[in-house]
Amino acid sequence: MEFIFFLKGIAIGFAMAVPVGPIGILCIRKTLTEGRLQGFVIGLGAATADLFYGSVAAFGLTFISDILISQKIWIRLVGGALLLFLGIKIFRALPTDPKIQIKNGGILKLYLTTVVLTLTNPLTIFAFIAVFAALGLDNELSFFSASILIAGLFIGSCLWFLILSSATILFRNKLDLVGLRWVNRIAGILVLISGIIAIGSLI
């Protein structure tokens, strides 16, 4: 029975990660400009945030969700501001030659930044609750069953970003410095738009 929970968790994590929002854009951009590892680290950060919100929903930690939802305006405001900052930074970033080996520095910073950025959307909790209910997982689960479900969710989310970064890397060596410059510009604009939408939704 627990294996079924595990499979359902993988399906939920994968499905929740598939829509390409600002995190997906950052993953694609980082993969194209720096390599597959950096792109996957972004996915790992997003999966960690999903693990947290999924845990809140699966374990019925209503006191945490109540706190997060009550402060959603400030949390989303911070997230929107962070997206605006990243959008400008990405737009202005100078590309490096894709044929040059990138040093794997700043991995922890990249991971933590993505975790924080993904956590700035507390409404994700409601999305997990809705999905759990649709799959008949809204009944009270045992600690072990909930843990198995959440483990699957994390793996499913990581699996999507592994696929995304692996597919994206196929195009990396086909881009010259001009192409990478346009990658930065387009990604920067899309992230900026995401930040504007995030802040605008609070008005």
Q: Where are the domains of the chain?
A: 2-200
Residue 123 is predicted with a pLDDT of: 65
Residue 20 is predicted with a pLDDT of: 66
Distance CA 183, CA 177 (A): 10
| pTM of the predicted model over 0.75 | yes
Residue 41 is predicted with a pLDDT of: 94
For the chain, residues with pLDDT lower than 50 are: 101
* CA angle in degrees (0–180, nearest 5) for 186-81-41: 60
Nearest CA to 6 out of 162, 129, 147 is that of 147
> Which SS3 state, helix, strand or coil, does residue 175 take?
coil
Kindly tell me the burial class for residue 97, based on how many C-beta atoms sit within 10 Å of its own C-beta (0-12, 13-18, 19 or more).
exposed
